[in-house]
Amino acid sequence: MKPLSTPIDGHAAELSAHDALAAAFPQSREGRFIFAIAFVFSAFQLATAAHLLDPPSQVLRAIHVGFVTVLIFPLLAALLDKSGPVRVLAWCASLVAAAVAFYQCYEYADLILRAGDPLPRDILFGVLAIAIVFAASWVLMGPALPIIAGIFFLYCLLGEYLPSPLNHRGYGFSQVIDHMAYGTEGIYGIPTLVSATYIFLFILFGAFLEKAGMIELFNDVSLSLVGSRRGGPAKVAIISSGLMGTISGSGVANVVTTGQFTIPLMKRFGYRPAFAGGVEATASMGGQIMPPVMGAVAFIMAETLGVEYHDIVKAALVPAILYFASAFWMVHLEAGKHGLVGLQKEELPSGIAALKKGWYLVLPLAALVWLLFSGYTPLFAGTVGLAFIMLLILGTSLALGIPSIAIRIIFWLGLGLVAASFFQFGMTIVLATLAVLVLANALRQGGRETLVACRDALAEGAKTALPVAIACALVGIIIGTMTLTGAANTFGQFIVSVGDKSLFLSLLLTMVTCLVLGMGIPTIPNYIITSSIAGPALLELGVPLIVSHMFVFYFGILADLTPPVALACFAAAPIARESGLKISLQAIKVAAAGFVIPFMAVYSPALMLQDGGAFALAWGYWTAVAYIVMKTTLAIGLWGAAVIGFMVIRLSIVQRLMATSAAFTLLAALPLTDEIGFALTVVFGIMVWRASRLTRARPVPADEPAVSSA
């Protein structure tokens, strides 16, 4: 894929590095060397996941961060075609990063013995480690996250001079460096551990699926299902981008991949460029809240809360379905308002034919979901899923060269037995089978091409993991500040004091914090920061634990759709050839449900399939679930009609205000608001019904487009 140009309005400069990462590795000697480092990085991560290598946790984290920082500087210098002196400086930074990782590994045992009493050289390498993480994050992701982390770091050093209650007792320079650069509280904290295990595996899983043709399968099936319906192209974008987002884990990356297909398709069939970009951005970001992968935050959340992965998925499932149903409804209304019909059926691919051709691609994803829901750890599930997709890719390459159908069936049955034997005999038999498949493919021309594709997928996966991995390392500075100084308690006490007067104001304050932080940093560090600050405070106010963390997570995602930064929208801007700001305004309309659902879940936890809430206590759990889902669906429907201005007919200002009032009262958790909301909904329905009868009764002028009811 060609690298994208800068958004046409010049906004969101931090996207330039992300755009560069979308390009292929340079074909120069330097580029091939960087490619080799990326390949070795992925190989190391696979070896540790399969327990072929079992380094101590601290060593694993240090090597992981070492690979990330070694890669970032020369890779970006090469991709952005920097001058000679800049490239020399980049390689110098890369060597420093390698030295830091080597020091952590070589001195591992001694560092444990002198924890809390570091030597001068420990301080030196600690300073280098922190500096290199800050620098790598800055060049790759822009200044926002490094500035925020830098403020927290300075707070550790200088916070004792602030007025109460912001001050702390004071910490020496060596103590701060020791806390941040060694042990498991700073840059090598839990976020880095999760990045080095779960997240990297699932990024590789997505990279292999993409190489195998999963995007094409998603697009073809989506086109077959909804392409001919009213507003079909936009509905295709929602389904395909949402599906791809569930396994890619990066909303911005998803926009620049699937968006290359979906945005021009929507524009070709009459959608405004800003609306087309907004739909793509909304669907791509929504993929992060749709199980099974949820942008990797699900794994961090499960690790942080100490709960099973399937508990996180259970809480996310209904809101995710409502989010995408809302987006579907919005594009359906937009299509009705402007008379946009779907594609001709003869233009559409056959979904059945696509599934017949690529059905096997679904098997690793199905196995992954089954393992996760069966209680296996994400690390185990990810390793097995990745092994399965590699068996399928390499096996398919060999099967195509087998002329006899019978022998081909026997081959696949044997490969299936090998995959199933993993649960009995462990990883050894799978690795042995993979080695045989690699050797067999190396002897065939088509097989060698498959091996090259697998090699490329490993290197591409490492490249894709860089932004997430460096963000997890740098956000450890913020988490380390919380644990060292107790700063989270100060902010948490403020939220609790506000909540004593109004829970809604506390939620609003938390939402604004998430949106402001999310304007400059990715979803994962945003979630980690805000959940560590606001999560305990919301829990103290009576919000269920998972619901409070989901509240923070949702608004961290929506920050990428919210002006003025809206990274996902600015990523769509060059494809849509429209202002990123205009796209973000449309994205907010399409993603309206995302802003509503977290608040409703706090007041009615049954929306996230959690216990609690007055209605559940009075009427029972499943009754509460059915009621809150029905009420939320109705409110989303009314909000869509009000925002788009269409519901069977074009709505007048009065009708739109009535729909807005009905939706708002259904969402408000106050006495009698539900009853008022249902009454206003009935009034709105009668108003639309009467207006539609009058519209049908009058003749349609020749210059007025007829609205399709397809």
Is residue 408 scored above 60 in pLDDT? yes
What's residue 34's pLDDT? 94
Is residue 313 domain-resident? no
For 479-515, the pLDDT digits (tens) are 888 878 877 666 666 776 776 677 788 888 888 877 7
Task: Pick 227 or 247 by higher pLDDT.
Answer: 227
Is residue 427 domain-resident? no
Nearest 5°: CA angle at 43, between 37 and 47?
A: 145
* Alpha carbons within 13 A on the beta-carbon side of 246: 21
Task: Pick 175 or 482 by higher pLDDT.
Answer: 175
What's residue 257's pLDDT? 65
Residue 11 backbone zone (phi > 0: left; psi -120 to 50: alpha; other: beta):
beta
113, 135, 164: which is the final residue of a domain? 164
Task: Pick 196 or 10 by higher pLDDT.
Answer: 196
Provide the residue range defining the domain that includes 135.
Answer: 15-164
C-beta contacts of 134-137 below 8 A and 24+ residues apart = 134/474, 135/73, 135/93, 136/68, 136/69, 136/72, 136/73, 136/93, 136/97, 136/470, 137/470, 137/471, 137/473, 137/474
For 274-321, the pLDDT digits (tens) are 888 888 888 888 877 887 667 667 777 887 788 887 888 888 889 988
Mean pLDDT lowest for which of 336-350, 376-390, 487-501, 503-517? 487-501
For 630-689, the pLDDT digits (tens) are 998 999 899 889 988 888 888 889 999 999 999 888 887 677 888 899 999 999 999 988
Is residue 599 domain-resident? no
What's residue 659's pLDDT? 92
pTM: 0.72
What's residue 709's pLDDT? 35
What's residue 705's pLDDT? 45
Is residue 444 scored above 90 in pLDDT? no
Is residue 126 scored above 50 in pLDDT? yes
Q: What are phi and psi of 371, to 5 degrees?
A: -65, -40
| Rg value, the chain, Cα | 26
109, 130, 164: which is the final residue of a domain? 164
Q: How far is CA 291 from CA 154, 262, 319, 362, in A?
A: 38, 22, 11, 15
* Token representation of residue 390: 């590699």
Is residue 637 domain-resident? yes
What's residue 20's pLDDT? 66
Nearest 5°: CA angle at 279, between 571 and 260?
A: 50
Average pLDDT estimate for 382-401: 82
Is residue 136 domain-resident? yes
Strand partners, 649: 647
What's residue 585's pLDDT? 87
pLDDT band per the 50, 70, 90 thresholds, residue 704:
very low
Task: Pick 697 or 454 by higher pLDDT.
Answer: 454
For 586-611, the pLDDT digits (tens) are 888 888 878 888 888 888 888 898 88
Is residue 193 scored above 70 in pLDDT? yes
Q: H or E stretch including 649?
A: strand 649-650
Is residue 229 domain-resident? no
Question: What span, in angstroms and rounded, lies between the C-alpha atoms of 447 and 430?
Answer: 19
Q: State whether residue 168 is helix, strand or coil.
A: coil
Q: What are phi and psi of 362, to 5 degrees?
A: -75, -25
Is residue 124 scored above 80 in pLDDT? yes
Report the first-to-last Cα separation within the chain, whole angstroms: 35
Q: H or E stretch including 304?
A: helix 297-305
pLDDT band per the 50, 70, 90 thresholds, residue 38:
very high
Domain count, the chain: 2
164, 184, 206: which is the final residue of a domain? 164
Nearest 5°: CA angle at 657, between 652 and 662?
A: 130
Is residue 696 domain-resident? yes
Is residue 80 scored above 60 in pLDDT? yes
Is residue 50 domain-resident? yes
For 232-245, the pLDDT digits (tens) are 777 777 877 777 66
Average pLDDT estimate for 206-227: 76
